[in-house]
Amino acid sequence: MGWEGFADVASAGPWRQWREARPATSVLHFDTAAAGRSSIATLRAAASHAERESVVGAYVAQAEAEPVIEQGRSDLASLLGFPAAGLAFTESASAARAALLAAWPLRPGDAVAVTPSEWGPNLSAFAGVGLRRTELAVHEDGTIDLAGLAGLLAEKPPAFVHLTHVASHRGLVQPVTEAARLCNSAGVPLWVDGAQAAGHTQGPAGADVWYGTSRKWLTGPRGVGMLAVAERWWDRLQIADNPLGRSALRDQASPVRMLESAEANIAGRVGLCGAVREYLDLGPARVHKRLAEVGALTRQALGDLPGWTVHGSPAAPTAITALLPSQDQDVAKIRARLIAEHNIVTTDASPLRAPGEMTRPMLRISPHVDCTAADLAALRAAIEALG
């Protein structure tokens, strides 16, 4: 199917309902990789919880919401392939990563193996705790070379391998399941950054550690992150007891629950649990297939846009597309003008996202399942008009 024929599919059935379940807007959203659009039901669930806090008291409301949050914990854990007791809520993917780095048995000078496309802030966080970086061999499209990984694990095993499952800055999906198989048999833990993967692609089967966020492809509220640790690591986590007595959680649930932030956006967690239910009801495999299709059609629609080139493999099964300016267009200005003059939201993606392979800003386009050919045509025309 050419991208122009895409409207017939997108303007009917579940994807149309997906759009209709969200607040009506004249804004075209191509910015899910920054933050997705929550459904009205998700927004209401979060708002009702916030109101309930003011009616009965914040901690009473939290206790009332416990069954909803536990159901969400268990839904998320089974999607990701971890036990429910091994999943903790935080405020963001970055907060989750910080909690994990603080708790993991690491020593300064330990090596972490990463790909050249690694998310920049992860690299800074690793350097911040004194880790050494080892680079994984990759194929031309940026996916890891599994034979190279096997060689590294055999010859010079790092303290852990870290993969960003779905890259933030371009179409790139790492073969996490295959990498997990190799890491497991070598006894080297695999950490997976799933910030762009949750709700976008399949779970990280076999990973030892996973972390991500609510607000992107799962379209949950902002201010909520998640982490998960495989049971085989629970006893090795170094977790300081909390003076307010939360150490009971260590025995009742698991040490991983001690990594959950006590002061938290509970309304956001309630909203996320509803968003996860919506995703499960739609069918994760169907959503993933649709997002891959939306990405492919975006790349088709924009592939020959004068003055821009699509960066990364057009075949990557992701809805994230990066447009690299071929002249010296000012990407930040173009993004601002797309909003101000065309009601279109995109991302100005700075090289800090992936300093190992980005040298200049790109315009990131990341629609969700409801994207239509008319949306893509409007985006194309708007970018063309701006040069």
Ligand X SMILES: Cc1ncc(COP(=O)(O)O)c(C=O)c1O
Query: Which residues bind to ligand X, rule: CB under 6 A?
Result: 92-94, 119, 164, 168, 193, 195-196, 213, 225
Q: Between 93 and 230, whose beta carbon lies closer to ligand X?
A: 93
Nearer CB in complex with ligand X: 45/98: 98
What is the nearest approach in angstroms of ligand X to the Cβ of residue 122?
Answer: 6
Residue closer to ligand X, measured from CB, 90 or 372: 90
Positive or negative: CA dihedral 187, 188, 189, 193: negative
Contact criterion met (CB below 8 Å) for 114 and 122: yes
- Closest Cα partner for 100 from 189, 203, 34, 202? 189
Shortest Cβ distance from residue 278 to ligand X (Å)? 20
* Number of C-beta neighbours around residue 207 at 10 A: 27
Q: How far is the CB of 97 from ligand X (least distance, A)?
A: 7
- CA–CA distance, 327 with 307 (Å, rounded to integer): 6
Comparison of 61 and 163: residue with beta carbon closer to ligand X: 163
**Three-state DSSP class for residue 85:** helix
Residue closer to ligand X (CB basis): 35 or 61: 35
Sorted by sequence, the CB contacts under 8 Å of residue 2 that are 6+ apart come out as 300
Query: Residue 147, CB half-sphere, CA atoms under 13 Å: how many?
Result: 1
- DSSP assigned state of 242: P
* Of 304, 301, 323, residue with least CA distance to 312: 323
Fill in the DSSP letter of residue 33.
T
CB of 220 to ligand X, least distance (A): 11
Least distance in Å: CB of 79 to ligand X? 18
The DSSP annotation for 86-146 comes to GEEEESSHHHHHHHHHHHS---TT-EEEE-TT--HHHHHHHHHTTPEEEEPPB-TTS-B-H
Which CB sits closer to ligand X, 3 or 221? 221
Between 19 and 204, name the residue whose CB sits nearer to ligand X.
204
Least Å distance, CB 35 to ligand X, is 9
We find the least distance from the C-beta atom of residue 164 to ligand X, in angstroms, to be 5
